[in-house]
């Protein structure tokens, strides 16, 4: 899945239409609470403006109804934050719509090295509907199309699919963030060095079936934690107390364990658990071995499992991690996630490739202050999981091959 990138083109005096992911959280006053997604797009943005290109940025933010402007979902705060980051050398203006007269005027006035941020794409229902006319209007802004929005790469929306389809013979390339995501989540996994560990957590087996099946052909060991572990445990006849279990996935969990055994691979479940009556009862948390007694629920992998997995995974050459191993937002149920994260960091120091899926897993390593110590922390939760399932994206297929 090797694609041409913005580095392969000259952007001088060109109108570069770049799809970014500026879906950032806003506070009650409308300010940007967390600018990580804007920061992650900066290498691609600077590649264009420092090369004398005229940059037009488009994104969505939140979930507006798609029937017109909703001020609480405006991209103006993101544009203001980008202006702060770029400084006066590369002026940032904001267009009050993404298509129509105002956007056309803003693009026409754009000077080399400058940036226009278009208003929220999803103010138009045509964005999610991949409307051909809407996509063509967006494409009309551009001499070059760049997709740097990995977080929405699995969505067949107008800005992701319709625009490159309407570019004709104009260039369609990946941004630097998109390129990095594809290199790690696709190429690095397909060409992984052994021992290759996958760490899968989160609440639901149903969310991870595709990833488990795809990874079983490639990994040596899958470590299963989080609430999904209790569905696997129940399938093996182990006591799970009042832990969260997907009853309709119990037979599937049993089948996945059998499939791993037949393939000579290992799906390892926790040997002990940190338990309490509820996730709000951390004060009375206790360690439970083998099974979980009635009235208690498993809320994290136990201390012995955390220590064992952390030491074992430190010797890996490739690690893919998707899903926290406990209720990491609430101590002491964050300890298993922390221990395994630190084991992966040790492996990374010894030149292992370590890949963290987006979403809650990225939030967990950020909260632990360890994000910078992994080879790659993905910006896309759903997109990263679908790549781990072996799926392909139309939005990526439409970009030019390297």
**What is the sign, positive or negative, of the torsion defined by CA atoms of 273, 376, 83, 20?**
negative
Name the helix (H) or strand (E) containing 173. strand 172-174
Q: For 319-332, what is each residue's pLDDT tens digit?
A: 999 999 999 999 99
Q: Which domains does the chain have, with CATH numbers?
A: 6-177 (3.40.50.1260), 184-388 (3.40.50.1260)
Q: How far apart are CA 335 and CA 43, in angstroms?
A: 34
The one catalytic residue in 3, 37, 180, 208 is 37
Is the pTM higher than 0.75? The answer reads yes
**Residue 382 designated active-site:** yes
Measured distance CA(340)–CA(320) in Å, rounded: 12
pLDDT of residue 273: 97
230-287 pLDDT, tens digit each: 999 999 999 999 999 999 999 999 999 999 999 999 999 999 999 999 999 999 999 9
Is 204 a residue of the active site?
A: yes
Residue 115 pLDDT greater than 90, yes or no = yes
101 near 107, Cβ under 8 Å? no
CB distance 396 to 182 below 8 Å: yes
| The one catalytic residue among 4, 382, 390, 394 | 382
How does strand 15-19 pair with strand 353-356?
Answer: unpaired
Catalytic residue among 204, 265, 330, 346: 204
Instruction: Render pLDDT for 145-190 as a digit per residue (tens, 0 to 9).
Output: 999 999 999 999 999 999 999 999 999 999 999 999 999 988 888 8
Q: What is the DSSP letter of 371?
A: G
What is the rounded average pLDDT for all residues in the chain?
A: 95
Best CA proximity match to 369, nearest among 347, 345, 350: 345
**Sign of the torsion formed by the C-alpha atoms of 369, 75, 170 and 143:** negative
Question: Is 202 annotated as catalytic?
Answer: no
Q: Does residue 237 have an active-site annotation?
A: no
Pull the structure tokens for residue 257.
Answer: 């364990």
pLDDT of 1 reads: 63
């Amino acid at each position: 899945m090797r694609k041409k990138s913005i580095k392969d083109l000259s952007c001088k005096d060109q109108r570069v239409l770049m799809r970014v992911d500026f879906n950032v959280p806003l506070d009650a006053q409308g300010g940007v609470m967390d600018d990580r997604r804007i920061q992650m797009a900066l290498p691609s943005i600077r590649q264009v403006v420092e090369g004398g290109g005229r940059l037009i940025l488009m994104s969505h933010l939140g979930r507006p109804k798609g029937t017109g402007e909703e001020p609480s979902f405006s991209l103006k705060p993101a544009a203001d934050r980008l202006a702060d980051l770029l400084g006066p050398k590369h002026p940032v203006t904001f267009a009050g719509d993404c298509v129509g007269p105002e956007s056309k005027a803003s693009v026409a006035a754009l000077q080399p090295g400058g940036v226009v941020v278009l208003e929220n794409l999803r103010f138009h229902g045509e964005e999610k509907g991949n409307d051909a006319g809407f996509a063509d209007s967006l494409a009309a802004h551009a001499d070059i199309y760049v997709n740097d929005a990995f977080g929405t790469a699995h969505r067949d929306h107008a800005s992701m699919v319709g625009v490159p389809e309407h570019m004709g013979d104009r260039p369609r390339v990946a941004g630097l963030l998109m390129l990095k995501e594809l290199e790690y989540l696709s190429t690095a996994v397909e060409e992984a060095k052994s021992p290759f560990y996958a760490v899968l957590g989160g609440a639901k087996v149903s969310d991870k079936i595709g990833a488990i099946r795809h990874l079983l052909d490639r990994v040596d060991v899958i470590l299963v934690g989080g609430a999904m572990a209790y569905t696997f445990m129940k399938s093996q006849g182990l006591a799970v107390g009042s832990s969260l279990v997907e009853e309709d996935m119990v037979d599937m969990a049993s089948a996945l364990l059998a499939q791993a055994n037949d393939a000579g691979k290992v799906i390892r479940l926790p040997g002990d658990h940190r338990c309490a009556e509820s996730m709000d009862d951390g004060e009375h948390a206790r360690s439970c071995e083998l099974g979980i007694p009635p009235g208690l629920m498993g809320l994290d992998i136990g201390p012995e499992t955390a220590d064992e997995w952390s030491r074992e995974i430190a010797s890996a050459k490739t690690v893919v991690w998707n899903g926290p191993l406990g209720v990491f937002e609430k101590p002491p149920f964050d300890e298993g996630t922390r221990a395994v994260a630190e084991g992966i960091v040790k492996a990374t120091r010894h030149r292992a490739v370590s890949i963290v899926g987006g979403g809650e897993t990225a939030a967990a390593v950020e909260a632990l202050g360890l994000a910078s110590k992994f080879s790659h922390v993905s910006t896309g939760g759903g997109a990263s999981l679908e790549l781990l399932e072996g799926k392909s994206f139309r939005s990526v297929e439409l970009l030019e091959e390297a």
